Amino acid sequence: MTERPGCVLVADDDMVNRLLLARGLERDGHRVRAVANGLEALEALRDGLFDCVLLDVLMPGMDGYQVLECIRSQPKFRHIPVIMISALDDIESVVRCIEMGADDYLPKPFDAVILRARINAGLARKRLHDLEQEYLENVGHVVEAAADVETGRFESRQLDGVAGRDDALGQLARVFQRMAAEVRSREDRLKQEVRQLRIEIDDARAARQVAEITQTEYFQDLQAKASKLRLGPDSQE
């Protein structure tokens, strides 16, 4: 049994091949969906999440080339590794498939060791892609969180998923959560302060300061002529 099983789609019009492939893969712990032609293969892809596709080149109706073209043209599927099934003497078609975006090929008749090696390599590529995708999505969550902090809509739990990572991005998310919580708490304290905004004036001290100014000769002189100093009806001019 393989260490990291996946979900594999097998498309082959030859029933014996199909069964052999499915049995071999299931023995290794993979989940398998086996279909007999290209159309069924595309329907299965639309219905489920697959980690790898084993695709026979020659099938009635929609052949392997057309299915491969369709897989590579759709963003939803284009990252799924595709291994073409081909007879050893059909190298030309193998080359064509690789040029069209197939990841590998599996020669007929099958060898269990080669099958396992090809499948594991395909699944490893898929896992790497999924990890990259997940990483980018998590970076996106952090960027989104930064925008939410700006608009005051940030909730700490929205980064819980990223903060659970054990890499540098996870650390960034945890630091971000902590800093955002500190800023929020500071803002809350300020809001609390304004709710309690009290303008406290020491009246006695203020009165002393006023007296110091208003009891001077200069001030009293100014006070006496203030209305005449101002522009208006009582003005000096």
Partner 1 sequence: MSRIISVHSFRGGTGKSNTAANVAVLLAAEGQRVGVVDTDIQSPGIHTLFGLNQEAVRFSLNQYLWGTCDILQAAHDMTASLDAGLRGRVYLVPSSIKANDIARVMRDGYDVGLLNEGFRQLVKELSLDVLMLDTHPGLNEETLLSIAMSNTLAIVLRPDHQDYEGTSVTLSVARKLNVPDLVLVVNKAPPVFDPEQVRERVETAYACEVAAVLPHSDELMALSSAGIFALRSPDHPVTGLLHQIAARLTA
Contact call for residue 1 and partner 1 (CB under 8 A) = no
**Which pair of tokens denotes residue 115?**
């099958």
Nearer residue to partner 1 within complex by CB, 77 or 219: 219
Build a one-symbol-per-residue string for 152-191: x at contacts with partner 1 by CB under 8 A, - elsewhere.
-----------------------------------x--xx
Dihedral through CA 224, CA 229, CA 234, CA 237, nearest 10? 130
237 is a contact residue toward partner 1 (CB under 8 A)? yes
Counting Cβ atoms within 10 Å, is residue 170 exposed (0-12), middle (13-18) or buried (19+)? middle
Q: Does 229 bind partner 1 (CB under 8 A)?
A: yes
Q: Does 222 bind partner 1 (CB under 8 A)?
A: yes
* Helix pair 112-151, 168-195: axis angle to 10 deg: 20
Tokens for 46, please give them: 């639309």
**Phi and psi of 84, rounded to 5°?**
-80, 145
Strands 82-87 vs 104-108: parallel, antiparallel or unpaired: parallel
- Does residue 147 bind partner 1 (CB under 8 A)? no
226 binds partner 1 (CB under 8 A): yes
Binding residue for partner 1, selected from 157, 168, 201, 217, defined by CB under 8 A: 201
Residues in touch with partner 1 (CB under 8 A): 187, 190-191, 194, 197-202, 205-207, 209-210, 213-214, 218-219, 222-223, 225-227, 229-232, 236-237
